[in-house]
Structure formats: C-alpha cells, structure tokens
Structure 1
C-alpha cells in the first residue's frame, strides 16, 4: 500500500510539549499552515523541564531574551526568570498560535518504524494516564520532530552513597521534589555544585537552621542581575518589540564574547572569575578552595547566581560551602574523608541527570533497529541514514532555544523544497570516510557518563555540530537544503499505476 497524503494521520508528529515542541509547532503554523500535525506529550501539562522540576527557586540560567522565542518578545522585567514566569510565557505561546487542540497529553511514543515502501513512520503510542489499561495505538506520519530534550524525565542520576540507608532523615533528589517537604528550621546538606545546587542553596537558606553545599569539585560561578537595567531601558525607550530585538542581539553577542574569551584566555578568565567571587564574599572566605575548579572556564557550563543571592546567604552565615569527598552517610548526616562531619536532617542529592534521547523510544528503519551511537548528526538536526526525523538539541554554551529556532527554520525550508519537487522523504548520507568525535564536546558529568549512547558528529560541515549562532545563521537559515549529502525520494507508486 502506498502512503499518500490521504492515508497518513499527520504530516508531522511533534514529540514533547516543552519549549522545543511548542516552538516547532509555531514555525509549522507560520510557514506551512497546510501541514497537519499533532503534539504528543507524555505528561499532563505543557512546559517540559519548567513543569517537571518543582524544587525551590527553580529558574533559568540563561537570559530570557535569548532563551525565549525570537517570534514572541519576552517582556517580563526578570531577565533570569523563575519557572512560573517561564510557564506563563509558554502558555501564552500556545494561546497565540491556537495550539491547545493540537496537544494530546498522556501519550508516550514507545517506538517508531520507518518504511521505505510507504515513505512514512508508524508510531506505537501508549497512554500514560494513571490506571489506563488501553492498548498502545498506532499513528502514521510523514515526519517526526523529537522535542524531548536529552535527559530522562523519569529518573535523575542518583549514585548510591555508602551508608545511605542508615541516615535517619530524608534523602531527596531535586527531580522528584516532594510537595509537602518541610525544611523550616532544619539542617540541610546539598550534595552537588552545579546549577541546581546553586539555585537551591539561596532559595532554601532563609527558612533553614543552616544549609550547606557539599561539593567534591567546585564549579565556576558568576553573578548576573535578575533584572537587566540595560534591557529595561531598551524596552522603555524603544518599545516592547524593538527593545526585545535589541536586547536579544546584545545578549547573543555578550554570550559569544564571554565564551570566546574563556576559550582563548582560560587563565585570565579563571583569574577574573575568582576575583569576582572574592569581591562578593567575606574577606576571610577561602575562595581558592571553594571557587577554583580544576578545569578551565566553559569546559563545563558557568553557573549563574541572580543578584549574587548565593553570596548574600553565605555572608549572612545562613549558608556555607564545604569542599571534600564523602566517606559515608550515617544516622545524623555525612562523614567526610578528612574526618569532619556534616550534621543534617535533610540531604538533597543534586547529583545531576541521566541522558536519554528521543524520550526513550525505539527507532527502526524498515524493521531494523537504528544503532544510534553509530549514526552521525547532520547539521545538528538529523541522523545519518534515518529519513524524515529531526531531533532538537540546543546549544550547551549559550541559550538552548537559539539553536532550536534555527533548526525549525531549516526544517520548514526543507519541507518547502520537498513540496516544490514532489519529494516524500529525505535522509542524510554520511561520507564513507570521515573523522568523528562525540556529539557533545562538553566535560559535564552527565555527558561523560552517557557519551557512548549518543550519536557522533563529524569534523567538517555539515556534519560538525557547531555551537556558534553566527555559523548556524549562515548554514541553517541561509544555507542550501540540497547540498549533496541529502538523499531525497518520492513515493514509489505500486506496479501498474501511474505516478
């Protein structure tokens, strides 16, 4: 049977109703209103990360002028925004494009199989409603847009610590924050030093007896204003739309300048960051121990602290940082290898994420499983040998959404090219000989733990996954959509029929 427009359920199925999936739906609405599409969301609400995580103080670590969409100005005074404001913004985006009826909640894509015969995907979709006994259904679609991010929503990274079962208090992972957790007047220890830990410490500190961030390895931390005075001035003088565009361009250039300075002059950047930290902390604070990572700046992502909130709680004596290695948990807290002890009523294991691509669904092409680690990513968007499948992975050195927007623009341009020429599918074909390297050239623990599960990138365009906005503007927004590496195909008519 031949898959034609009339026999397919959809032109595009978007998986995930987070910031990537909602963005993709906007671009389809704007650039290809004739296309049919659906958004399948495994949870019961939109927002992805911003609805899943419920721990105190959760916020962005990128400014919203770049983390927000180019097509929807961010007008809230907070530049580094908390999760409720981001969710309000995303709900506004859904309303602006009338997307509510396009989203089906409690639907998890378990598997997707591509058929060359039909030039289409067949998805196996399960209902995730609590108590549902419905059998998985099948959906056919020409394209899949995977907006699932790259970590496991079901389970965060939770290493087992010696003696953990002897601890008399509560052990909490931020990805599974209890709604009824009462930490007022309690002694709290946060295990970790990344973005989650530096968010939790100042948010919880005022209500605790004392809170300690226990880090094995320090992170680079930089203060930023929660409300950017220059951005507010631009919005007031130029108006919301023009002010937003100015703020967005300035933020892109600022992010680029900081990243390139750190990469070109790591020792100078290290020295500057330590000096900034020292200026914010008490004079006797041991900056050399607690704010001096063994790696160079931007080998891992910089952690931002809005309005220096973490420094303020340390200066008040309400919070502290301890750098050391855990020997064991015990009934009353944590014993360190140096013999010291951290008393605790609650221990929060801010130990990171588990990577997971495509929401964990299984991909097959003509019945053969796709070996994802052996594939090579084309333009940061498609997998070699896999037709009509786009995965949305944003920048690691800048705002995630900057890359997603450019990927969506490229996707729409490809769709236009296919419609014009009568093509049904396209797949990247990698050169037989090409040097490869890990997809995410990033030193973060959650990446290193799972790098063997990820596809590769090449060492030259268009197989090199760039982290530069200017490069991607040239290649994704303006570059050719038929560059010799893409194999376009039409639907093959059955024998005895006209094409």
Structure 2
C-alpha cells in the first residue's frame, strides 16, 4: 500500500511534503540545517522541534551554573568562530546558536512546539510519512519527506534517569532532578544533598555553595576530575596579534584536538600511569586522605568521561567549608533526609538527583517500515550514522571523548554529498547493507562496554544497533580518523544500495 492510501483521503490532501525533514533544533539540528542550506541549495526542508525554542540540551537544562563540559572551540561549529571562554554557560551557548540562526535565516525553516509521533517508510513511494503533533490541543497532522535527518540527541528530554529508592515518599523536603529544575525553587539557607558525581553535580556544587546553608555531594563511587583555567592561551595570544577570527578558530581547534588525541592515546595505552597523574594533580586542591577516600575511582581513566573543573571552582567550594563529599550508598530516604548503608543519617531540606539521563533511541519515535515496527537493535550501524535495512535516514550521534559537534559537522558535510549522489544516479532511495566481504564479520554492541561504559548507555545498550569489527561498521571515537575518512567515503561502494 502506498503512502497516500495508508494516510487516508482528507489527511493525504493536507499533508505537507519536503525533500528533507530534520528532527531537532539543538546543536546538531541547527548545524545540519546550515549545512543543508549552504551545500544543498534548492532542496525543501523543515526542522521539527518539540520545545518552544532552539537549543536542545542548553534549553532543557536550567539548573544553577549549567555549562558545557566540552570546550567551545571544538563544541562550537567549524563554520562559526567562538570568541568566548572555552567552557561556556548555557546562556552563552544559546546566544551563539541564536547568532547562527539569525545570520543564516534559519528561523524560517524551524517549527517549534511540534513533536514527531511516528515515522513510517513506504517503499513503493520511497518516502517517509511523519505524524506530527503541535499546539495546546495536540493537533495531529501529516508530513512526508524523502529523507530524514535525525538530530534529536541521545537522551529523553522529558524525563531524566531517576532510580527508585525505598522511602522516597517519606522525605518531607523537595526532590528535584536537574533536568526539571523549578524556576521558583527556594534554596537560600537550605541543606542540599546532590546525589551523583558527574559533570552536572560538579557544576551544581559551586553554583549552590554560596547561597545554601551547606551542600553535600553524595556519590556511590568516585569519578575522575581534572582542573584547568577557563582560558586558552593560544587563542588569547592570536587575538592580541589581531589574527583573523576564522584563522584563530581553526588553529585553536586543531591544537586542542591534536593535544586531546595524544592525551587520550596515552591514557588508553598506560591507564595506570594516567591514573597516578590525574590523582597527583588533585593534590594541589585536596589532602591525601580526601583524594584516597572520595576521588580515587575503581575503573581506569576514560571508561567514562573525565570531568573538567574550570578554574577549580568545584574544589574551591569544598575548601570553603560550604560544600562536602560523602562516599556511601543510600539505604533509604527518611523524613529528614537520607539513611546511608554505613548507618549515617544525612540531613537535607532539598535532595537533587543528578543521576543522569535516560537514553532515547531515535527520539522515542515509533518507527516502522511499510507498517512493520522497526527493531533498530536488529540492524548494524554504518559509521554510527546509518543502519542496515533503514533507507533514507541518517542519525547524528556524537563522540563520547570529544565534542558532540565535531561529528555533527562531519555528518553535515556527508549528507548533502549523499543527496547529490542520489540525484546523479537518479535514485529515490539509498540504504546501507553488509557487503559480501563482510559475511561472517563478528558483531558486537553499539559501544564496547570494556572501552566506554556510562550508565545511560549500559542500561539501554540492548536497544541500540549492532556494530561490526570493521571501521565502516562501527561508531569510532577517533575524530582524526573520521575527519580523514568521512570526506573520502566511496558512495559507490557496495555498502550503499541505491534504487
């Protein structure tokens, strides 16, 4: 059955049709719109965004001190120089994205307050049919498109990950997840406990320390931290020399990425030495007992992200006496706070559950192929952006050990090139497939847990596509390899099937 027959008469007559639909107006979606507009002019497209404004992560997270945990010289777009401090606040990032939208007239392509409910591929028509919902009344409409560019991110914006602990209903205070920070929350002179030890907790602690009675970071186990100035000396020197901002942007990006790649290779090659160096560096901010008890992880460096502390603000908060760290497990919530496994009672007026994200595979949209539900876990990924058996779709999923936007930019160059190749071949559809030489290739999880294993991935790895042992069939974490390989991807390789 073709698309129009499946939709039905009235809905089919009102359906809007586009060449490309971009889902999400966060850092990836806005960048992808720019690449499509500048590298594939003349194609009709729309950006569908569930929230009332652009920004994605930086619109969702409004907790005190919300900031990037990647430097903006590499988290910023390759086509738009960044001129602020390397670690930027959410508002600074939103301002930067707003400039990209205004400078390129992208606002006319964005539909805010619109959610994609379902997406069905029709092989006969070679088109995607999207059911979208918008408005206060939840009005549903139909949009069709030849190509889907999924830029909705990797986590569920509507609900953060919240474990269920015994006795939560007994607690007399307020329980808050950072992903849903209330505008009217009163924290003045309150006792606050932040559960978690990742980048969110390390950001919240110094932001809260000056206004609350006391803030405690409660962690089940320690993570790795590194400290540095929120300033890039190379960038500052080049600005003083009045070098062109575009040149500064490219030079500084290359410098940061080169040093980062060397550091990562060194850590992975000699994790024990890296552990010693990371812990030794903390000696400038903490005493030996505190490091041993609260800041010595059980895992090797880079199995999870290493938290960067700009200008040491997190450790300054600990040194002020207004903040502290407790390493223990929660037995249960009680009226006055938390009862820990050690028997200690941790008093609190407000408990912040900085417990992480919930993975949203392809935006939790109900995908189907000719009416049959799509099981993405049965597919194999092509370079972490396309999936066997799924036509005319590309997904932006960034790096774990480098800035998300780096990969979004690479894919932003790839998609227009793929669309042009489809035109040249007179093809209305393209899908990836395992080649004869890939027969018998060993398949594994999307990401090897022995290599990288944050909770948001390990909890939902079973929902993700499989990966292969060859570079084409993996989501590599090597930006420099991808930067070399992506522009030279052979679009006539047998991995691509056109029709």
TM over 0.5: yes
Aligned to 2:440: 433
Distance 1:350 1:30, change over 3 A: same
SS at 1:286 equivalent: helix
Distance verdict in 2 for CA 1:8–1:318, change over 3 Å: closer
Distance 2:456 2:475 in 1: 19
Which secondary structure does the structure 1 equivalent of 2:441 belong to? coil
- 1:124 aligns with 131
- CA-atom RMSD, angstroms? 1.6
Structure 2: runs of 5+ lacking an equivalent: 5-14
Residue number among 275, 280, 305 corresponding to 1:275 in the alignment: 280
Task: Indicate the residue corresponding to 1:85 in structure 2.
Answer: 92
CA contact (8 A) 2:127 2:145 kept: yes
Distance (Å, rounded) in 2 between the aligned partners of 1:189 and 1:8:
49
1:328 aligns with 2:335: no
Q: Deviations over 1:303-347 (max 9, x none)?
A: 111101011111111111111111121111111111112111111
Q: TM-score, normalised by structure 1?
A: 0.94
Q: Which of 480, 483, 487 is the equivalent residue of 2:493? A: 483
Paired position in structure 1 for 2:453: 443
- Aligned partners of 1:354 and 1:174: how far apart in 2? 13
Aligned to 1:263: 268
Q: May I ask how many residue pairs the two structures share in their alignment?
A: 482
Question: 1:31 is matched with which residue?
Answer: 39
Q: Identify the residue that residue 206 of structure 1 maps to in structure 2.
A: 210
Determine the C-alpha separation between the residues in 2 that align with 1:365 and 1:149. Answer: 22
Which of 83, 103, 111 aligns to 2:110? It is 103
Distance 2:370 2:343 in 1: 59
Equivalent position SS for 1:250: helix
Contact 1:8 1:142 in 2 (8 A): no
Q: Is the 8 A contact 1:393 1:400 kept in 2?
A: yes
Separation of aligned partners in 2, 1:459 and 1:432:
11
> Of 405, 412, 418, which aligns to 2:422?
418
Matched, 1:239 2:249: no
Question: What secondary structure is seen at the aligned counterpart in 1 of 2:35?
Answer: helix
Q: How does 1:367-378 map to 2 (within 5 A)?
A: 367-378=371-382
Question: Which residue matches 2:467?
Answer: 457
Question: What does the per-residue CA deviation read over 1:243-283, in whole Å, with 9 as the maximum and x for residues that have no partner?
Answer: 111111111112212211111110001001101112122x3
CA distance in 1 between partners of 2:381 and 2:235 (Å): 36
- What CA distance in whole angstroms lies between the structure 1 residues aligned with 2:138 and 2:468? 44
TM-score by length of 2: 0.94
Is residue 2:367 matched to residue 1:363? yes
Distance 1:121 1:269, change over 3 A: same
Structure 2 residue matching 1:342: 3-state secondary structure: strand
- Asked if the contact 2:3–2:122 (Cα under 8 Å) also holds between the matched residues in 1, the reply is no
The 2-side partners of 1:428 and 1:185 are apart by 58
Give the whole-Å Cα distance in 2 for the aligned partners of 1:141 and 1:109: 13
* Unpaired stretches in structure 1, ≥5 consecutive residues: 490-499
Matches of 1:438 and 1:305, distance apart in 2: 31
Match of 2:317 in 1: 313
- How far apart, CA to CA, are the structure 2 residues paired with 1:235 and 1:462? 40
SS in structure 1 at match of 2:69: coil
Q: 2:230 aligns with which of 226, 231, 250?
A: 226
Aligned match of 2:410: 406
Q: Please say which of residues 323-332 and 435-444 is displaced more in the overlay.
A: 435-444
Secondary structure in 2 matching 1:231: helix
Q: Give CA deviations for 1:333-376 in whole Å, capped at 9, x if unaligned.
A: 11111111211111101111100122111111122211111111
- Equivalence for 1:495: none
Q: CA deviation at 1:3?
A: 9.1
Contact 1:376-1:463 at 8 Å conserved across structures: yes
CA contact (8 A) 1:114 1:120 kept: yes
Secondary structure (helix, strand or coil) at the match of 1:462 reads helix
CA distance in 2, matches of 1:336, 1:2: 59
Per-residue deviation, 1:418:
1.2
